[in-house]
Amino acid sequence: MSKGIVLLAAGGTGGHVFPAEALAFKLKERGYSVHLVTDSRAERYAGKFPAEEIHVVPSATIGSKNPVAVARSLWTLWSGMRAANKLIQRLKPVIVVGFGGYPTVPPLLAATRLGIASMLHEQNAVMGRANKALAPRVKAIAGGFLQESGDVISDKTVATGNPVRPAILAAAEQPYQPSQPGEPFNLVVFGGSQGAQYFSKAMPTAISLLDDGLRARLRVTQQVRPEDMEMVRGCVAQLQMGADIAPFFNDMAERLAKAHLVICRSGASTVSEISVIGRPAILVPYPHALDHDQAANAAALAATGGAKVIAQSELSPERIASILSHVMNDPEKLSHMAAAAKLAGKPDAANLLADMVEAIAAGKTVSEFKRTRA
């Protein structure tokens, strides 16, 4: 018999859905039923989500100054609030947990109005706009990179880390195997839903600048946008090299496990997954990210020595080629980076977050929960 329903709400990107998925698995193991509220974008990420049901509730972000657009967004939010209200009254969840993104706003607002226990999980070092708006209303906040002290919001924050999916935990069991000079070198490149365009242009050029011997060693996995596929595949064909090019990889955890080096953006889930698996990385924060949250996430891993952070404006194809030329012949350096990254990982984050969800659902305060951890 189920202990009750937990309603998870997450925006439709991997950065929001993946941590929610990791928590869902833990809650299912503990005897809870899980439902997910998200948007239509989440279809590609939610295929393995262990939810009894996935609900789509109308929502919108108020990012325009156009009065008509603002009025339309407010109407959509109002419609979403009514839909979320009906959903929560029907499901009667023991708690509603938001993971950021504008689809979390209606269900969390409805939960707080109805007196249902509620909390947030913020993946980034800088709180996103949706979570920032909801933070004063919820009972507790779990943080991936947030600090536990400093302001009123911090007083109800617990630094749980970012939960990672079971596939990442399985990949983390594979030790880092350095590529020796002359051996194949697995390079994984990805940019997230908004940041892949830069790598689509920069990486083929950088690889073309490598010596023939180094280029022959490369085995590249690269995520590219659908509109860039033809261009990148054409470059790969010209370079006559081994590469898997696709808009999305269902087996990315396994590819990360086999990677000798990762070049990527620094979204919170990405940084957390690289840390748990323990792979050396070149992190290139998305320069247009709101509040520069990706730069703050990257700094957390760089501080341990597990990654090198380079601003996009400073990372030319020539510099990428120079970095690859050096590290492909320095397996010892990459091994040290891999070990440092692993030390920064928090593989138990999902368990800790599940503990916190159960405590808040049971009516405990953040202070009481922190005392049980001490």
DSSP SS3 for 147 = coil
Cβ 317 vs Cβ 130: under 8 Å: no
The one-character DSSP state at 3 is: S
Q: What are phi and psi of 114, to 5 degrees?
A: -90, 0
DSSP SS3 for 211 = coil
Q: What are phi and psi of 28, to 5 degrees?
A: -65, -40
Which residues lie closer than 8 Å to 44 by C-beta, 6 or more apart?
248
Report d(CA 7, CA 9) in Å as an integer: 7
DSSP 54-87: EEE----------HHHHHHHHHHHHHHHHHHHHH
For the chain, what is the largest distance between any 2 Cα atoms, rounded to a whole number of angstroms? 65
Cβ 45 vs Cβ 11: under 8 Å: no
Which parts are annotated binding residues?
Answer: 13-15, 124, 165, 193, 294
Which parts are annotated binding residues for UDP-N-acetyl-alpha-D-glucosamine?
Answer: 13-15, 124, 165, 193, 294
